[in-house]
Each structure stands twice: as C-alpha cells, then as structure tokens.
Structure 1
Amino acid sequence: MTGAVGRIQAAFTDAGVTGRLHALDIDSGAEIDAGGNRPVVTASVHKLCLLVALHERAAAGQLDLTEQVECPADGRTAGPTGLAAMLDPVRISVRDLAHLMMSVSDNAAADLLLDRVGIDAVNATTDRLGLAATRMSHTFGGLFATVKEDAGPLGARALTDPHVLTRLRALDPAHSNRSTPRDLTGLLRAIWRDEACPPPHGAAIRRLLGLQVWPHRLASGFPFDDVHVAGKTGSLPTVRSEAGVVEYPDGGRYAVAVFTRAANPAATLPQADAAIGTAARIAVDALRARG
C-alpha cells in the first residue's frame, strides 16, 4: 500500500497539483490513505450530502419527491448549467431538481432543494452518519457570493492573482463547506450498503450519481465499458475534486474521494482533471491486488 501512496503523490506532482485521496473497498473495508484525514473544501461535492438529507426526509414522510416547485426567472442562484443558466420560469418536481443538481451540478436546483431541506438538516444527516469533519455553512449561492466579495472590484479577472486567491474564504475549510476524503468515502459506503437511507431511496441516490455527465475526472481513470463509475465533482478556483464509486463486473465496489489544488490559477487545466482519474485508478488497482 505504501508503494501505491507514493505513485499517487507522484501523479499529483506530475500534474502540478497537491492532492488528498482516500479509497475504500466497500465490502472488505480495506483502504488507501493519501492525506484522507485532511480537511478539504467540498464545493459542489457537498450536493451529495444534500441529496442524502433530501431522501432521508422523503423516507420519513416529511416531504414529497413529486411535489412541484416554482423556479421564477429572477433571483435564482447563478451557474453555467441547468436551471441556473436558463432564462424563463420553470415548474419542476423535487426529484427532477435532484436530477439536475447531480447530473449537471445545477446550483439553482441545489439551492431550491436547500429551501425545502435546510442547512441544519443537511448537517443533522451527516452528524447522524458519524461524519464529524463534514459541515455545511453556506448555500451554494452564498458560497459563490463570498468568492465575488473576496475577489473585489475586478471580479473574475482577479482570480488569476495568487494574492487574491489567498483571501478567498471559499478555499479555506474553516470558512467554507467542508469535509475530508475519508468522511466522503464513508458516506458513499453507507449509500452503497443502504445504511444512509432505506433501500428504495439508496437506489435512487445511486441512480442519480450514475447520471453525472462529466467524464474528465474520476471516470477518466476507468475507460472500460464494463466498469461503472458514479460520482459528484466539485470545483472552485484552483480546486478540482470528485467523490464516487467504481464498480467492476466481478462485484468489486470501491469508494474514492480525490481533492486537488493547482498552483496554476488557470480555469482550464486538463492535466489536473486527469490526475484525479489517474490517482483513483492507482488506488483501486492496489485495493484489487490486495483482495
């Protein structure tokens, strides 16, 4: 396992990033730990915690997943995908909001769901599951509002300045939505073992994670037709991450959480995205060799 950790760290270095990883065999409990206990900012990966809280409350009869929600044209949380990028009013069910939140990381859909569930309820769910390092303190719109405020009058142009990046609260786990890679693999294990929610709701969560459209991070390390990858990405300036589960045709199931921070502030860094898949593949191969 020590050799695998060294190769993982080398993959991060080669890509020009620092990284944290935890990988877990869902059935045996075997693990690979490369900084897995270090706090990280979760960005959109925290939508997974919201999804579990949503289904926990649906299972308890506290909300109806088929309820219709009005999303007006004005006032919705901004973003590049889904409702966040649309211009007209929309009427949509709670469960379809969850689909948009997970498949294309729709910020507006996520915050509409937070209106129904509440940040305190998300934290209650992660507390119940023993995820002591996982905490939500901002809506997704609120998180990005701190980036705008901290960047100052130059706005997005300032985010290439290393001095500006050091003052972004969104990049500091003490002032942002946060977790650890180990907490997130524990959450994924609970989802895949139907310990986070009753089985029908666990199946619905797993389905939505499998519908994510982004293939450039975790899934890039597993380019095989018979290997299934389900996950949730997260991004902030210099931060790229993903937490998900890799399933093999022989029944092997592996939860992996990878969080990276790039020295280069460029918004597009294919090598940094690919490092997430490379590191995950090294970890999963090591777990499979051990099994």
Structure 2
Amino acid sequence: MSGRVPGGGPERSIRGAFADAQVTGWLHAVDIDSGAEVAVEAESLVSTASVHKLCLAVTVQRLADAGRLDPTERLETAVAGRTAGLTGLAMLRDPVTMSVRDLLALALTVSDNASADVLFERIGLHTVNTAMRQLGLRKTVAVHTTRQLIDSITEDCDGDESLLHLDPGVLTRLRVLDPLRTNRSTPREMTSLLGALWRDEACSPERAEELRRILSLQVWPHRLVSGFPFDDVRVAGKTGTLPTLRSEVGVVDYPDGGRYAVAVFTRAARTAVRQPAADAVIGTSARIAVDHLRALRPPA
C-alpha cells in the first residue's frame, strides 16, 4: 500500500500531542518500502540546526565514493578558532589530529560542532548543497557553518545571550530561527534523504551501512528513541537544537523488517534550555505516526 494517509486519525492525534506539549510541530513519517506516509505541515521550511550534519555526512560519503575524499585523511584541529560546543572536540583543550571518518562519527553521535566544522571547511558548504540537489532535495540548503550559526546568535543578541531568557523580543531578531536565513529543509525532504540512505541510494551500500551504524550510536535517548522503548527496535537518528527549537530525524527499524523514516521539528514559546515536554513529544508524535503506518502493513 502507498500514498498519503488522509487527515484525521494520526494527524489529529499528533497535533493534539504537540498542543499538549505547548509546541508548534512539523512532522513527516514514511514507510520506506511501501511509501505510505503521515504528514503534519510536512512541506514547511524548518530550521535544521544540527540536523544538517546528516546532510554533511551523506556528502562526505558521496565524495569518498567518487574518489574525491579519503576517509582516512587526517585533519588537524587547532585550539585557536575551534568551534564552541559541549561535546567532542569542541570541549577539548589541546590540538587534535583525526581522520575524516572519525570526525564524522563525532559529528553524528555526540553532535560535535567542532568536528562538523572541520569537515564543512574541508569540503565547502557549496559541495553539501550540490549533493542535496543531486539527490532531488531542492529546499535543503546550508547557509552557514556551525561556527557562523553560533556567531550569528551572539550578534543578534548584541553580544549578550542572556537576553534570550530575559527579553522575548530578542527571539524575533535571531536569524537561526528564520528558515529563510539559516540552514533549512522540510520534514518531507529529510525523510526522503533518510529513505535514500536506507535504500543504499544516497551513497554506496558500504558507506550507507557505515552511516546507518553511526546514526544508531547517537547518545541522546530523550527524543525520538523515547517513543520506542523496545530492545528489539532499532532507532538511528540525528538531533537538532536551538533556542526554542527541538528536532530529530531518524529511522525506526522493527524486527519484522518494517522500517520508517521520521522527521519531527518543534518550536516552543519558552526559551528555557531544559524543556522535557518538547523533547518527549518528538518520541510521542513519531510513535503515533509509526504505529499507524504499521497498521497499514499487510499481515506477514
């Protein structure tokens, strides 16, 4: 069975879950093999934040397939000018030399900003955008590196990021919250990219499997994974976070062979750093969508 799931059941429940969590939400979920889907504002442009590291990763693998990049190439990351962050190289205090493939693993599993920017600088934003266009993703665009994204927040806060929590009006100035001025995509295009990766279409089967493995090792269990608390269900994904924004895109693999690409993006009115309800609704809404898609599968 294929085709769009009509409005009503799952879409109404998903919108209700978003409302209960006090967020605005955008979602697309698709059965990778049948094409059946659930969509809630799935064509809307959204700010991708660190979700765009998935686009970077696919591009790196495609370059390796073409012989234009050696995954074992070692790149030096000095301390001076290293992109800030809370994980990976971003938190280290000394120079580090790592291979392209290990930098990629850190960028995906712990969302390391510094590792991602070493790779962005190595291949160029234009190369990532070209790869996305080649895959048919016309609305998926990288505007800036992670460092540039972080710097733009500081600039838009006039150098004082504490204003984000004191003056809600500051949010209206943040370029990173405006999909027309920052790294962007749509929920549908993100699931399209995931589907291509899981079908070995985004890059060679060997390199696609490597990315699927790395994405399954992501350390954050509080978003997409929270909706599928089963030992025999595998979830592989990539999160994104900015002030008021929480998101994750990923694939849910069931032991019976069912596999579902899901992209959930949310925006809250509050600027608090910790928003457990906004995190949890990503898993909740994904579960509603996937349960509905599984109900459409023919009996084994």
Superposition map of 1:99-110 within 5 A: 99-110=105-116
CA distance in 2, matches of 1:73, 1:44: 22
Deviations 1:197-249 (A, max 9, x none): 01111111111111110000000000000000000000000000000000000
Q: 2:123 aligns with which of 117, 120, 141?
A: 117
CA distance in 2, matches of 1:116, 1:146: 21
Is 2:289 aligned against 1:283?
A: yes
CA apart distance, 1:74: 1.3
CA distance in 1, matches of 2:212, 2:133: 21
Counterpart residue type for residue 26 of structure 1: I
Is 2:51 aligned against 1:11?
A: no
Is 2:235 aligned against 1:235?
A: no
5+ residue gaps, structure 1: none
5+ residue gaps, structure 2: none
CA distance in 2, matches of 1:255, 1:89: 38
CA distance in 2, matches of 1:233, 1:73: 26
Is 2:223 aligned against 1:221?
A: no
CA distance in 1, matches of 2:153, 2:80: 21
CA distance in 2, matches of 1:66, 1:182: 33
Is 2:200 aligned against 1:200?
A: no
CA apart distance, 1:290: 1.2
1:78 is aligned to 84
Deviations 1:115-170 (A, max 9, x none): 221101100010001111100010010011110100113x2211122100011000
Is 2:259 aligned against 1:253?
A: yes
CA distance in 2, matches of 1:210, 1:72: 29
Superposition map of 1:26-175 within 5 A: 26-153=32-159, 155-160=160-165, 161-175=167-181
Counterpart residue type for residue 263 of structure 1: A
**Which segment is superposed worse, 160-169 or 275-284?**
160-169
Instruction: For residue 29 of structure 2, give the secondary structure of its aligned residue in structure 1.
Output: strand
Instruction: For residue 70 of structure 2, give the secondary structure of its aligned residue in structure 1.
Output: coil
Counterpart residue type for residue 99 of structure 1: A
CA distance in 2, matches of 1:129, 1:151: 36
CA distance in 2, matches of 1:73, 1:130: 37
| Large movers: runs of 4+ above 6 Å | none
Deviations 1:169-202 (A, max 9, x none): 0000010000000000000000000010011111
CA distance in 1, matches of 2:144, 2:36: 33
CA apart distance, 1:22: 0.2
Deviations 1:95-126 (A, max 9, x none): 00001000000000000011221101100010
1:274 is aligned to 280
- The count of aligned residue pairs is 290
CA distance in 1, matches of 2:217, 2:67: 25
Instruction: For residue 89 of structure 2, give the secondary structure of its aligned residue in structure 1.
Output: helix
CA distance in 1, matches of 2:224, 2:101: 25
CA distance in 1, matches of 2:44, 2:74: 40
Deviations 1:80-109 (A, max 9, x none): 110011101111111000010000000000
CA apart distance, 1:62: 0.6
CA distance in 1, matches of 2:122, 2:172: 34
Identical-residue share of aligned pairs (%): 60
Counterpart residue type for residue 157 of structure 1: S
CA RMSD of aligned residues (A): 0.7
